[in-house]
Amino acid sequence: MGGWEDYKYPIAMVVLQLGYAGVALVTKAAMLQGMSPPVLVVYRQAVATLAVAPVAYLSRRKSGGPSLGLRSFSLIFLAALIGITTNQNIYYEGLYLATSSTATAMANLVPAITFVMASVVGLEKVDIGSLRSIAKIAGTVICVAGAIFMALLRGPKLLNAQALPVTESTIGQEGEHWLQGCLFLFGSASLWSIWLILQVPASASYPDHVSLSAWMCFFGTLQSAVVALFFEPNVAAWTIHSSFEIISCLFIGIFGSGVSFFVQVWCIAQRGPLFSAMFNPLCTVIATILAALLLHEEIYVGSLIGAVGVIGGLYVVLWGKAKDCQVMNKETDTESLQTNYKPDLEEPLLSDKSTHTNENNA
């Protein structure tokens, strides 16, 4: 089958990555205009809940669904606390202190960190004598090395270098803020990896993915509101002062946590998680170019080299996992024929139960 059928999935993923880059840039711009990061998290999740909840309600009304028991409630609440509330607050703080391009590049660490965590808890097998396992380990090391390079060795400026006199105190303060931002972003990637692993028991306990997402958005809104009230007791911080801030909240919530979910699930269902993951680094490239042009963010040699290292390490990890899936498909040929995937599908890190959504932090 040719024509539109061959291109609609790649086009959808490119548009999705453009959207993720837009979410990062709009979020950064909104915070630069004075919006409080904790308050922005609350507004984002509230808008996402209003966008996803009606779809979940209509879906359950037509087909029914599992009841929300104590185990399901506990797992969903914990997943929302880790993957939404804590993760997004840390991510926004890192985005504010660092740059949009750094934030999108750090997001590519998630597969490597997830591989390490999944290996620790027994969801991923490691065979030192296997080329596949060596590739996954080497890719993880390259990813982490690239992230460290971005944080510690920025080097000279490539774009948007300022011709203003810079004092030693200014350099020290700028470097401290940059390092703090990178540490926050690394922590965000680690929390997102934990969230991915939590999706395995959560999806098994509550297999209705649309309702699961709606519940997580709802719990995330309540939890984020508590956090925001603690860190932003001033009522003035909750005031929206411009139409840009309103549009930012709507765009971040509807696209970042609403539309992107459905596009991601659709592409994964038709082409598999690996196909989806292969497009993630495109967001880094788009965000870097647009941030330099629109937000006048500075681009450093070290940041560029580190980003290339992170993206390269990501593909090495995905290659190792793809080879794992090829071997598993050969050993369980009968089971693979019963799946709904097309013949070219392969999984990058975890099962599709744990990857039904993308970086809700983008």
pLDDT score of 3 = 58
Tokens of 266: 């659709």
The helix/strand/coil state of 239 is coil
In sequence order, what are the residues at sequence separation of 6 or more whose Cβ sits closer than 8 angstroms to the Cβ of residue 8? Answer: none
Q: State the pLDDT at residue 106.
A: 85
Q: Nearest-CA neighbor of 203 among 60, 71, 353, 84?
A: 353
What pLDDT, in 10s, does the model give residues 99-122?
887 888 888 787 778 778 877 877
Q: Which amino acid is at 45?
A: Q
pLDDT in tens, 302-311: 777 887 888 8
DSSP string, 301-322: HHHHHHHHHHHHHHHHHHHHHH
Residue showing tokens 């509550």:
206
State the Cα–Cα distance between residues 124 and 347, nearest whole angstrom: 12
Q: Which of 294, 214, 273 is nearest to 24 (CA)?
A: 294
The continuous run of DSSP H or E covering 157 comes out as strand 157-159
pLDDT tens by residue, 42-98? 999 999 899 888 888 887 777 666 778 888 899 999 989 998 899 999 999 998 888
How much is the mean pLDDT over the chain? Answer: 77
Asked if 156 contacts 300 with a C-beta cutoff of 8 angstroms, the reply is: yes
Instruction: Kindly report, residue by residue over 167-222, the tens digit of the pLDDT.
Output: 343 334 445 688 888 899 999 989 988 887 887 788 888 888 778 888 988 999 99
pLDDT digits (tens, 9 = 90+) for 130-178: 888 888 888 888 888 887 777 666 667 765 554 334 434 333 444 568 8
**Cα–Cα distance measured from residue 106 to residue 187, given in angstroms and rounded to the nearest whole number:** 10
Helix (H, G, I), strand (E, B) or coil at 348: coil
Q: Does the predicted TM-score (pTM) go above 0.85?
A: no
Q: Tell the residue number behind the tokens 């086009």, with chain if given.
A: 11
Q: b/e string for 280-299 if b means 16 or more Cβ within 10 A?
A: bbbbbbbbbebbbeebebbb
